[in-house]
């Protein structure tokens, strides 16, 4: 990781592996997109949600100065984008425009849009150039960074997908200027997750002054974003296809994904993961390793961010069924990431259902 100066210089965080790429953090860095795409590209497709139509149009005008054809694919916002029908719509555009392997796709939006764009790029002609431009906190620190792409099915979230590395990720902090405080706080679930599993400095910054921490114009905000991306970059560099260490990034996600499914994806991802992390903390305590103070710290930090830490008591049977279908289960055995202590994650495989139910009761409303 190359540190930036305190002013306007960009920070480059490299994700290593068979296809290394940089996550670039800064302000106004979208202007470097033609340099990132390079000269071999001829046609570009920008995948974006309706809320970014005007911004996508401006991005198109920028690229038309360099490339012969720049198309826009407006897709639904949030999880509604991650459907096979939407992917097929994008494939149709690519086919009608005769996109070749030397052309490129831009994912311009939140995590759902970058997941979709990545999946389309991975599957069209078995792989075309991809650049992700995340426009949400969640997208910057999580969805756009690790090369995991996918769409949802009626059976669950992200069950169809591919591991596919982008050419670059441009995390332009200026794109966050119009986000609502609630959207930023929801995205911070993934930020503090990185604090719990690997970078306690993130937790210290949030506890010291939560308003500064979530202010996109502050130095504190940029610091926690860079720390979070650094966590993901290090883990993904060592385990791109989630065969081992990358599993720690699922902290809070096993129950969190089940909640999203139960709520028909009407809950924000961060809200569901917040409840999932609280459950994982209680599970870690019951498993005998995580102390009371660390569990209490989870609750205090998530409540500082006004994120939920409870879920209705009567929903457990449906959640358990959804978790058993989750792609993180192996041979029917549930696996949870828990903490031995803050900054030290571990895998809890095949826990007794009584233990799971007891942990759930601790967060049940």
Phi-psi region of 338 (alpha: psi -120 to 50; beta: other; left: phi over 0): beta
What are the structure tokens assigned to 276, written together?
Answer: 């999932």
Contact 273, 305 (CB under 8 A): no
C-alpha–C-alpha distance, residues 106 and 119, integer Å: 12
Q: 358: annotated binding-site residue?
A: no
C-alpha–C-alpha distance, residues 272 and 258, integer Å: 8
Residue with tokens 């879920």: 311
Q: 269: annotated binding-site residue?
A: yes
What are the structure tokens assigned to 148, written together?
Answer: 């995991």
Helices (H), the chain: 33-37, 53-64, 84-96, 111-123, 137-138, 181-197, 200-208, 210-213, 219-238, 253-262, 269-286, 292-304, 316-325, 353-363
> What residues have CB less than 8 Å from 85, skipping those under 6 apart?
none
Q: 11: annotated binding-site residue?
A: no
Q: 77: annotated binding-site residue?
A: yes
Contact 232, 145 (CB under 8 A): yes
Q: 5: annotated binding-site residue?
A: no
Q: 193: annotated binding-site residue?
A: no
Q: 79: annotated binding-site residue?
A: yes
CA distances for 159 relative to 155, 326, 329, 344, angstroms: 8, 8, 12, 28
Q: 239: annotated binding-site residue?
A: no
Q: 82: annotated binding-site residue?
A: yes
What are the structure tokens assigned to 25, written together?
Answer: 């953090």
What are the structure tokens assigned to 20, written together?
Answer: 């290394």
Q: 282: annotated binding-site residue?
A: no
Q: 365: annotated binding-site residue?
A: no
C-alpha–C-alpha distance, residues 3 and 11, integer Å: 6
Instruction: Give φ, ψ of 172 to 5 degrees.
Output: -85, 110
Residue ranges of the annotated binding site are: 77-82, 135-136, 148, 157, 190, 253, 269
Residues making up the binding site for NAD(+): 77-82, 135-136, 148, 157
Residues placed in the known binding site for Zn(2+): 190, 253, 269
């Amino acid at each position: 990781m190359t540190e930036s100066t305190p002013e306007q210089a960009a920070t480059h965080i490299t994700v290593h592996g068979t296809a290394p790429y940089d996550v670039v953090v800064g302000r106004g860095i979208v202007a470097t997109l033609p340099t990132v795409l390079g000269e071999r590209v001829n046609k570009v497709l920008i995948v974006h949600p309706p809320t970014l139509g005007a911004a996508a149009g401006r991005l198109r005008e920028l690229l038309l100065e360099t490339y012969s054809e720049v198309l826009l694919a407006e897709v639904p916002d949030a999880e509604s984008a991650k459907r096979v029908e939407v992917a097929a719509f994008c494939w149709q555009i690519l086919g009608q425009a005769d996109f070749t392997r030397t052309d490129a796709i831009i994912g311009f939006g939140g995590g759902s849009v970058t997941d979709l764009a990545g999946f389309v790029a991975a599957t069209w002609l078995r792989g075309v150039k991809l650049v992700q431009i995340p426009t949400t906190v969640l997208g910057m620190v999580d969805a756009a960074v690790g090369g995991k792409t996918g769409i949802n099915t009626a059976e669950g979230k992200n069950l169809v997908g591919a591991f596919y590395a982008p050419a670059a990720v441009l995390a332009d902090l200026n794109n966050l200027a119009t986000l609502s405080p609630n959207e930023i706080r929801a995205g911070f679930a993934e930020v503090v997750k990185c604090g719990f599993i690997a970078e306690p400095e993130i937790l210290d910054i949030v506890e010291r002054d939560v308003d500064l921490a979530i202010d996109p114009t502050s130095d504190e905000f940029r610091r926690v974003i860079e720390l979070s991306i650094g966590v993901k970059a290090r883990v993904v560099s060592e385990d791109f296809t989630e065969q081992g260490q990358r599993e720690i990034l699922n902290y809070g996600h096993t129950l969190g994904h089940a909640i999203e499914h139960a709520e028909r994806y009407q809950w924000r991802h961060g809200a569901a993961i917040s409840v999932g992390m609280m459950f994982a903390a209680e599970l870690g305590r019951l498993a005998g390793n995580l102390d009371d103070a660390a569990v209490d710290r989870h609750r205090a930090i998530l409540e500082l961010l006004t994120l939920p830490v409870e879920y209705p008591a009567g929903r457990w049977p449906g959640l358990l069924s959804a978790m058993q279908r989750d792609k993180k289960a192996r041979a029917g055995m549930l696996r949870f990431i828990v903490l031995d202590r803050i900054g030290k994650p571990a895998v809890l495989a095949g826990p007794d259902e009584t233990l799971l139910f007891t942990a759930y009761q601790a967060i049940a409303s």
